[in-house]
Structure 1
Amino acid sequence: MKTSYVPNDATTIAALRWSIVIVFALFGIAKFAAYEAEGVAKIASHYPLFSWMYPIWGERGASNVIGTIELLTGAMIALGARYPLASLAGGAMGVFTFCVTLSFSLDAPAFWQVGYGAPFLGSTGQFLMKDAVLLAACYALAVNGQRRMRPGD
């Protein structure tokens, strides 16, 4: 009987890690563009965690701060390939990021499709629900870093 190749856990974590790094890089870079700053401001400027930034730095400045944090998160996750503590920290930063974005759904317009309601997602709901998977991926990377930090592992 022929046996087929099954990737090991390290290969699986590497695929997860680098796909998340790409997501944070692309999302982080986009925050420096005017179109993304405007889009983020529609939700974030009314959200208590971010609303204080808009009077201080304006729409573009607040978006630049958010983008910088996303780029730092991606960099930490990338460094986690070599350094377990960076994997733990970057994964935790990602978990926090996606907990925040998922919390936008609590009062986001068009989360549920008008005229249908739950469980029919509207445009905002469809946009935000992907973050549940990204949160789980970041959690897996944080746990991977924590496991690699244990003595003897």
Structure 2
Amino acid sequence: MTYLEEKLQVTDGAHPLRLQIAEKSVGSLYLFGLLRWALVVVFLWFGGMKFTSYEANGIAPFIAHSPFMSWLHTVFGIRGASEVIGVLELSTAAALIVGAVRPFFSALGAAMSTMTYLITLTFFLSTPGVAEPTAGGFPAISAAPGQFLLKDLVLLAASLCLLGASVQGLHRKDQQSQDGR
């Protein structure tokens, strides 16, 4: 039993107030908790900002040059596209929050997060100004947007780790319910 499980008195159902933690059987609760709540903060903050003109105008060049997302400007306009993305990001945060106690939502939120960062990493290839010509061009990247986008690689890794743990947790839960029949 990990330190956190001991402090929370998490057991395999013997405790009268059964606390479900999606990833409890696949590694350190502490580490997966750090990943989950860090992603929640990012999605709440960034998602909320998508409802401001400042953020809508800030992300407009990324969307405009994206082969996957440029249609959003055509359909919703600059502000509307930002708000659609904001709704998706806040929904991802909500799924991750509920996923702290419900394994299905943990996997759903982590999958949504994974998709978000896979898409934003494509901006690395489609957005002008990523390579820094004054430093010799690629692989030298600009501070913005190059380095700004590159940090999404770490967020993608965090999302994939949480997704893997969540899916393992779901699989183990299904296996336990089949064994208990």
TM-score, length of structure 1 as denominator length: 0.89
* Number of residue-to-residue matches in the alignment: 149
After superposition, residues 3-152 of structure 1 pair within 5 angstroms as 9-116=28-135, 117-123=137-143, 124-149=145-170, 150=172, 151-152=175-176
CA apart distance, 1:28: 0.4
CA apart distance, 1:113: 1.4
Identity of aligned residues (%): 40
Deviation per CA, 1:47-103: give whole Å up to 9, x if none: 232222222221111100001001111111111111111111111111111010000
> Which range moves more in the overlay, 104-113 or 125-134?
104-113
Q: Partners in 2 of 1:109 and 1:53 — Cα distance?
A: 19
Q: Partners in 1 of 2:151 and 2:56 — Cα distance?
A: 20
Deviation per CA, 1:122-142: give whole Å up to 9, x if none: 121100011000001111111
Q: Which runs of 4+ in 1 moved over 6 A?
A: 5-8
Tell me the amino acid that sits aligned with residue 161 of structure 2: A
Question: 8 Å contact 1:45–1:51 — kept in the other structure?
Answer: yes
> Which range moves more in the overlay, 8-17 or 123-132?
8-17
- Is the partner of 2:57 in helix, strand or coil? helix
Tell me the amino acid that sits aligned with residue 150 of structure 2: M
Tell me the amino acid that sits aligned with residue 40 of structure 1: I
- Pick the structure with greater CA Rg: 2
Question: Please, which runs of 5 or more residues in structure 2 have no aligned partner?
Answer: 5-26
Q: Partners in 1 of 2:62 and 2:30 — Cα distance?
A: 37
Question: 8 Å contact 2:65–2:127 — kept in the other structure?
Answer: no
Q: Partners in 1 of 2:138 and 2:61 — Cα distance?
A: 23
Question: Please, which runs of 5 or more residues in structure 1 have no aligned partner?
Answer: none
Question: 8 Å contact 1:102–1:128 — kept in the other structure?
Answer: yes
TM-score, length of structure 2 as denominator length: 0.76
